[in-house]
Amino acid sequence: MKGQDQQFSSRNPALRLIGRLCSFLPCTGASLAALWAVLWISPATLSAQTLYALIAVDSADSRIGSSVSKDMEMMSDFSRELAVSTGMWLNLKTLSGEELTETTFLETVQSLDPGPEDMVLFYFSGHGFRTRLTPTKWPMLYVPGSRGVDFAEVVKILENKNPRMILAFSDSCNYYSDSASRSVRMNLRALEQPSEETYRKLALQFRGRIYASSSKAGQFSAAQSDGGSFTLQFMRTFRAEAVKSDAAWDRIMEVATRPVSKQQEPQYELVPEGSPAETNINAPVRPIAPEERTSSINCDDLNGFLKRLRQLQPEAARANLQDKQQHERYGRIVTSLKMVGGMDDRLINLVQDVGEAYRLKKSPAFGRSFEDLVNYVISMQKRECQ
């Protein structure tokens, strides 16, 4: 199907693992026979779980296309991180541009085939709306060519497949607006790397469903140049919480769904295994603590952020972005820096400068812009913490 990343997707885990190995090792007839013999007598290899990810964005829309394209990049990277860090096999499907139609969307949702121990990640970014007849608190997703696809109906389709875990998000209006705003949250722990143990805890040990939309009934959802406000807030929250040994989905979702602005309050339901999903618009909604509207900064986090930047600065000054390995390494650093967020315009602009120099593979400019970033964070540290 167009728009999906083709993966080795045999339902036999042993064959899936052989497919992985043969993607980067020469596999002759003799070596294939040896691999099969090893896998046949190793039950542990037959228990591999699969992450089924479907990411759909309305990138053809002239007003929000560039923003939702960033969302697709972020969520595709997020699904790959989950798979690599947990050992799950990834079956990633994406729909965007002209490939996103009502027919392809519904067919792709229906085509997902998770087993009882697998995880499903569903994500939609585009326009959304509701009417007085919309029976749930969740939005109608505007899929081109449709009159709206009910988010709750998508959830029901996924529920009927009975996977171990469902993570389903919609970053779309629950009304209609071109309004834009910025998340006030700043993640100064963006450069810290979550442990694989934390990823396994969150993605392998949890059993249940997590549903979220970027706004409540009657509210707008904002699109920024680097992605949807809710998607950015979720990714920053996930990265900040996932470095903690006690990371848990309830805390992640509580923080990620704090108000983005006075006009946008995300909502979520976390339903552990064995609990009935509540999707009625009149069902009680978990109270969301209002976020403090101040510019206060955690000095411990700021000091840690500055320390990591200083460690990276000498390397950034010598970076050769024409080298493939170095380009990939600094790409991960740039992605982490973009997760800092916050309301400091100067900091945001400096991170954008670093990202632009990286994109253009201009190594000297990359080193200079990284140095400018470090110097500004030093001034922040003096201003806020001394």
Q: What is the mean pLDDT of the chain?
A: 79
Which CA distances in Å does 191 have to 81, 297, 320?
A: 15, 16, 21
Q: If we measure between CA atoms, which residue out of 183, 228, 181 comes closest to residue 341?
A: 183
Residue with tokens 């010598």: 318
Fold for the domain defined by 49-272:
Rossmann fold (3.40.50)
pTM value surpassing 0.75: no
Tens digits of residue pLDDT in 168-224:
999 998 874 333 333 445 556 566 667 788 889 999 999 999 999 999 888 888 877
pLDDT at 223: 78
Interval 242-298: pLDDT, tens: 888 889 999 999 999 998 887 789 999 998 886 655 444 334 334 334 333 334 577
Q: How do residues 336-370 score in pLDDT, each as one tens digit?
A: 787 676 657 788 788 889 989 998 999 999 999 99
Q: Report CA torsion sign: 156, 8, 51, 162.
A: positive
DSSP conformational letter for 168? E
Q: In this model, does residue 42 exceed pLDDT 50? A: no
- Predicted confidence at residue 272, as pLDDT, reads 87
Q: Are 219 and 377 in contact, with CB atoms under 8 Å apart?
A: no
The residue ranges of every structural domain in the chain are 1-47, 49-272, 299-385
The neighbour count for residue 226, using CB atoms within 10 Å, is 20
The pLDDT > 90 percentage for the chain reads 41
